Amino acid sequence: EEPAADLAVPDGVGLLWAARLLGTPLRARVPGSVLVPQLAAASARRGDRWFLLGAAPGVAAEAGQVLATRYPGLKIVGAFAGDAAPAGDQETRAAIQAAGGVDVLLVAYGAPRQEAWMARHHDLGIPVMIGVGGVFNYLAGRSQLAPAWMRRAGLEWLYRLVTEPWRWRRQLALPQFAALVAAEVARRRIGLSG
């Protein structure tokens, strides 16, 4: 199934650059580390039921404890590492169904596995599913955010390249994306002058 979304937030600096170059500037980056705490505060007021899926064994549960402490009223009804591959689907669906009604499901398998996972399980009928990448690691204190000056300078990707060098292959997507944007800008310029 083709991944699709009702809402896609600009979580990387490349999207801000691209939007500006293509004439539709965006106000700010919305990384998972900003989105999840804000949503947790809103969910706490509503008493929403959250299920945390993904990351290494134990990390989702730890992140859940941190969220439950920080946002009284938020109901963490389940946490499960699971297996991102289809082989893990049955076990994961059973865990989610055992938790009862889930309002919000956070999926931390990194891109594009988490998007594929959500596309495969759309039929669970969970109102809100969000791919959150490394957010559980951050909440559980297993990884640090880049220093504020680096985030402000749009250099979070560089911080992550240095602190999580095993992700270098994934980060090849960044120059590829930049090349696609440059090609689109060039195409429009030629279109305008010709």
Interface residues toward ligand UDP, by CB under 6 A: 54-56, 84, 108-111, 113, 133-134, 136-137, 167
To ligand UDP, the closest distance from the beta carbon of 12 in angstroms equals 9
Instruction: Tell me whether residue 37 or residue 110 sits nearer to ligand UDP (CB atom).
Output: 110
Instruction: Tell me whether residue 51 or residue 109 sits nearer to ligand UDP (CB atom).
Output: 109
Sheet containing 104-108: order of strands: 75-80, 49-54, 104-108, 128-131
What is the Cα–Cα distance from 90 to 31, expressed in whole angstroms? 30
For residues 111 and 83, the answer to whether their CB atoms sit within 8 Å is: no
What is the Cα–Cα distance from 3 to 109, expressed in whole angstroms? 14
Instruction: Tell me whether residue 12 or residue 44 sits nearer to ligand UDP (CB atom).
Output: 12
To ligand UDP, the closest distance from the beta carbon of 54 in angstroms equals 4
The Cβ of residue 91 has, within 10 Å, a number of other Cβ atoms equal to 12
To ligand UDP, the closest distance from the beta carbon of 194 in angstroms equals 39
To ligand UDP, the closest distance from the beta carbon of 60 in angstroms equals 9
Instruction: Tell me whether residue 92 or residue 137 sits nearer to ligand UDP (CB atom).
Output: 137
Q: Which residue is nearest to ligand UDP (CB)?
A: 133
Tokens coding 65:
């404890």
Q: What spatial distance separates the first Cα and last Cα of the chain, rounded to whole Å?
A: 39
